[in-house]
Structure 1
Amino acid sequence: MVAGPVTAGSPGAGSPPSGGRPVDLRRKRSRIGERLILAGLAGSALVSVAVTAGIAVALLAPLVTFFSHVGFGEFLTGTSWTAGFGDKAAWDDKNWGVLPLVLGTASTTLIALVVAVPLGLGAAIYLSEYANPRTRKVLKPVLEILAGVPTVVYGVFALTILTPVLQDVVGAAIFNNLSPGLVMGFMIVPTVASLSEDAMSAVPGSLREGSYALGANRMKTTLRVVFPAALSGIVAAIVLGISRAVGETMIVAIAAGNQPQFTLNPLVGAQTMTGFIAQVASGDAPQGSPVYYSLFAVGALLFLITLVINMISIALVRKYRQAY
């Protein structure tokens, strides 16, 4: 005996016995916990936006005062920075060209990247593609410990340990940009390595297997398949390291010196934007003095540079992002 076909309304089709009406398994109302989580995430995002807007508003009034005495052209293109303590009558006695501070920041940042990018990417490649799970579980936390060391410790190390070595080897000055730049590079290695390793580990294993099936060895697979596939995450890691180096304060304040110089020579002392802010903010800067308002001008420029770096990072991540 041959059984008849199973209809949509018959019990054999998996429908309920009551009238053959299908059951809607979708949840019509979200759970209270999910709504609370979504509200918390939205609140965190709004707090971040509000803090950024608050910083911009707080900078606005002092900036108006500063640029009412100093021209934009003089500030952005001047090659001499002699801001110091004094009263309002000292505006015309100072040089307000911020380029020496910008060059000092750029010098230490470039040196840090020369150290951090090769070491960080090399560590990421090893942890992602060569290390076994047990080794990765041990080495990655050890590497990330470097990110937790206080920056003042790095600064003291740069001044007392590394600088004397550089004086003997390359004739560096007591205060120079090379020493803090090298130490900053080791400081941001964990940032570059950890985020890059996460991006490379997220690449599907099927891409690796396909590469091996075509006869490629592990190195070629890593460099020509995994690395391009994880490029957006790697770019984000490097840009985050740049932002960390640009905003670093204590290392450069201790080891780079406080002498603004219009030079990219890493063997001489200089002053970065964050170093100037730390020097003046920790001293006696009376409210209403020229140097007081210059703090806000330098801080606003640093804020703008960081914003531009983040915008470039977002654009690069969107350009090289690949979905699997």
Structure 2
Amino acid sequence: MADVAARAGVSGQTVSRVVNDSPRVDPSTRARVEAAMAELGYRPHRAARALRTGRSQTIGLVVSTLSTVGNFRMLQAVADAAETRGYALTVVTARGAASIAEAFDRLHEQGVDGAIVLNEATAIARDAGAPAGLRLVVVDSPADDRFGVVGSDHEGGALTATRHLLDAGHHTVWHVAGPEDSFAAAARERGWRAALEGRQTPEPLRGDWTAASGHAAGARLPRDVTAVFCANDQMALGVMRALADAGRRIPEDIAVVGFDDVADAADFRPPLTTVRQDFDALGELAVAALADAIGGEPPRAQLVPTRLVVRDSAR
């Protein structure tokens, strides 16, 4: 850093401000310092910075699995947002209360500044409790004074999707729901039920987010069903295959709606009407909320809107 300061003709404190992206540096001075850093091949030493500032510029990500599309998309979104803000990312998996407590301990031992807990892992995280000093943000969880919460408007999205089918003239709408222990699945089921208030409400068929479970549920749909809302796009894909196996046409005989708007949804046959989650916005908000918490800001809950994308499977 002293070499950079000498080359740029500034103080060591000015170099430090540039390295830490302080706004208190004149643009021309910043450019001169950055040019000197490039010429000398200077890179900030993360461990040394952590010793000096008490922060590692590393955050953790806790997941129960990366096999689901939602978790995988969120991992990418969080990684991108963390990189933009200059954070390194450490990923750990946890599937139960003991496992998540161990995950928190590992992250704490590695000196991370805070952690984001994704989707299915949030329920066990609420009961486990994080080590003192480990800031947390959870994705898809009820509001909680102990940590920040970021989530999609699952209930509102499901309500909109179901009303779209009812407005198209369907007497009722069947539902292929997600796992019983999933916060997102429960919220989507509530939105579906709210839209059907005062109408016949069939018993939901439950899957596990996979296309195979959607196929099994689709094979159990009665022949007189004319509309089905699926809690995610993978299960919708399985339902559509089961309907095709039974000789039922989509949307002429039965309309199908999914949730998530995965990258391939527009290429299903027919293209899938679905509720779009903004995973990029979720990842950015989660990292921003964690950065605020690390900086001492109080936790808050933030909800990201969803949007119905109408395609051929349910017009």
TM-score normalised by structure 1 residue count: 0.22
Q: Which has the higher strand share?
A: 2
- Bigger-Rg structure (1/2): 1
User: Larger RCO: Structure 1 or Structure 2 (Cα < 8 Å, ≥ 6 residues apart)?
Assistant: 1
Q: Which has the higher helix share?
A: 1
TM-score normalised by structure 2 residue count: 0.23
